[in-house]
Amino acid sequence: MGQPTEATAQEPARQGVDDRDKAAIIEVSSPVCYADKAVDAYMGFLDRDGLVAELNILLEAERAGAQVAAHLVAEAEPPELKDLAGVIQRDEIRWCKMLIGALKALNADPSQAVGGFYDQAMSIVDIEARFAFVNRGQAWVIRKLKALLPRIRDDQLHGALLAMLAAHDHNVTQAESTLAGLVRARNRPDAQAS
Ligand SMILES: [Fe+2]
């Protein structure tokens, strides 16, 4: 009989301490949240709105790239150029999906727009020249990502954008090599004679 009485006697005291602890936690937690945001800004990390804006710019660019690459797949005649356009198209679609997922994770509406890059690229009739223009667009994405990455605090998003940077870097190198190979093939003496 003694133990239950002791427990009953202690219960209100424990309850009281718990409530005060909870209140203290709530009081402390809000300033900490503000402090986190202040630290983010101080350290150069983007806030949520800045991040949404940057991700949407990339999404519009990648969507434009995917659509231009689809035209290159259909119109390019050299097999190596057609294959590379296919790789770029698949990659652009992949990054569109990643960026849409990242924006949704931020409770933001992914942009539905297609970047102005599409019209600029499609105004170039010559396929190799258009391909070279796409490569300059890919290089722009690389520069954009390099500037953006140090400002991303979230590890998962940082990793995804880093993979996007590596893939673009690889594709730009491949495209430069392929385009240069086509020029060399055209300039070979036997090619000119035939
Ligand atoms: Fe891209």
Distance 125 CA to ligand 1 centre (A): 20
Identity of residue 43: M
What is the structure's pLDDT at 43?
77
For the chain, percent of residues with pLDDT exceeding 90? 72
Question: In 10 A of CB 18, how many CB atoms?
Answer: 10
Quick check: 134 and 65 in contact, CB under 8 A?
yes
Q: Which amino acid is at 124?
A: I
Owning domain of residue 18:
1-43
- The amino acid sitting at 138 is Q
Task: Provide the token pair at 87.
Answer: 């790789």
Same domain, 140 and 121: yes
**Confidence (pLDDT) at 192:** 55
Do 6 and 68 reside in the same domain of the chain?
no
Ligand 1 center to residue 135 CA distance, Å?
9
Phi, psi of 112 (to 5 degrees): -100, 0
Q: Do residues 39 and 62 both lie within one domain? A: no
Residue 27, C-beta contacts closer than 8 angstroms, at least 6 positions apart: none
Q: What is the three-class DSSP state of 111? A: coil
- What's the gap in Å between 141 CA and the centre of ligand 1? 6
How many domains does the chain divide into? 2
Distance 44 CA to ligand 1 centre (A): 25
The Å distance, Cα 65 to ligand 1 centre, comes to: 6
Q: CA-CA distance, 114 to 142, in Å (whole number)?
A: 19
End of a domain among 43, 59, 74? 43
> How far is ligand 1, taken at its centre, from the CA of residue 21, in Å?
51
Each residue's pLDDT tens digit, 122-151: 999 999 999 999 999 999 999 999 999 999
Distance 94 CA to ligand 1 centre (A): 10
> Does one domain contain both 167 and 118?
yes
Q: Is the domain of 51 the same as that of 36?
A: no
> Model-level pTM?
0.78
Question: Residue 152's closest CA among 170, 139, 165, 140?
Answer: 165
Say if residue 183 is in the same domain as residue 96: yes
Tell me: do 51 and 17 sit in the same domain: no
Q: Which helix (H) or strand (E) holds 34?
A: helix 2-42
Cα(134) to centroid(ligand 1), Å:
9
pLDDT of residue 188: 86
How far is ligand 1, taken at its centre, from the CA of residue 138, in Å? 5
- CA angle 186–80–98, rounded 5-degree value: 135
Q: Are residues 94 and 123 in the same domain?
A: yes
Report how far ligand 1's centroid is from the alpha carbon of 62 (Å): 5
Cα-to-centroid distance, 64 and ligand 1 (Å) = 9
Cα angle: 117, vertex 154, 42; to 5 degrees: 95
State in Å: Cα 127 to ligand 1 middle.
18
pLDDT per residue as tens digits for the range 16-29: 445 555 544 444 45
173/181 Cα distance (integer angstroms): 12
Same-domain status, 38 and 63: no
Find the 40 Cα to ligand 1 centroid distance in Å.
28
- Describe the crossing of helices 155-187 and 127-148 by its angle, rounded to 10 degrees: 150
Q: Kindly state whether residues 188 and 116 are assigned to the same domain.
A: yes
Say if residue 90 is in the same domain as residue 133.
yes
User: If you count them, how many residues does the chain have?
Assistant: 194
Same domain, 87 and 152: yes
CA distances from 60 to 41, 99, 112, 181 (A): 26, 10, 7, 31
d(CA 130, CA 122): 7
Average pLDDT of the chain? 85
Task: Write the CATH number for 142.
Answer: 1.20.1260.10
The per-residue pLDDT for range 140-191, each reduced to its tens digit, is 999 999 999 999 999 999 999 999 999 999 999 999 999 999 999 889 887 6
